Amino acid sequence: MKVLIVDDEEMIRAVLREYIEFEGGETDEAQDGMEAVKKCRDNNYDVVLMDVMMPKLDGFSAVKEIRKFSDVPVIMLSARGEEYDKLFGFELGSDDYVTKPFSPKEVMARIHAVTKRTGEKKSRDVYEFEGLKIDMVGRNVYVDGKRAELTPKEYELLFYFVENAGVALTRERLLNQVWGYDFYGDDRTVDTHVKMLRGNLKEYRKFIVTLRGLGYKFEA
């Protein structure tokens, strides 16, 4: 397990590092949001511990940027325990929220819970939503028992939707994760493929919901 610890307080980073490494984990560190975003672009982590109040770029803004290109689980760490702050963090895509001062043991428990959830999510092979069956390993999609003929990119797009069911996905994030390149303002690529995919899913096109001015979400 590799954890990125993001906090501008060296003492907090040291305490978390000690607990994580004691349990056999590997750690990396960042002192502000900008450094965290860069490290998430350049490395693969199993979870990110993200402080909220930091110089240069705060934790909320950092999560917003990271979610444009990565689904890495993020646990927010903050002295701000108001419900509004927690809800805002979840809306941006964080997976959990721990209020300071916290027990390092509690943080470790949250890390294990989050990584277990995401691991279970990734390990699932077949999804069924009413008459729509999606075989992730075999790369087959069935509509009411009949195999749908999808292009390779339509498969990838649908699989990404399903793996992130319930999550609001911007066109920028879809381009980066499914097509593998940065967003330059032309969202027609995503919209065109979504239109074709919906056509092939027939009545189950209803599961791909348009979020006006933002992107799409898979809801079943």
Average of per-residue pLDDT across 139-148: 92
Contact residues for 170 (Cβ-Cβ < 8 A; gap 6+): 68, 214, 215
Q: What is the CA radius of gyration of the chain?
A: 19
Q: Examine the pLDDT at 122 and tell me if it is beyond 80.
A: no
Residues of the chain with CATH 3.40.50.2300: 2-122
- pLDDT at residue 119, rounded to an integer: 63
Separation of alpha carbons 170 and 132, rounded Å: 24
The string of pLDDT tens digits covering residues 167-192 is 899 888 888 888 776 545 456 788 99
Strand partners, 27: 3
CATH homologous superfamily of 2-122: Response regulator (3.40.50.2300)
Fold for domain 124-218?
Answer: Arc Repressor Mutant, subunit A (1.10.10)
- Report the range of poorest mean pLDDT among 77-86, 94-103, 191-200, 202-211: 77-86
Q: 0.85 cut: is pTM over it?
A: no
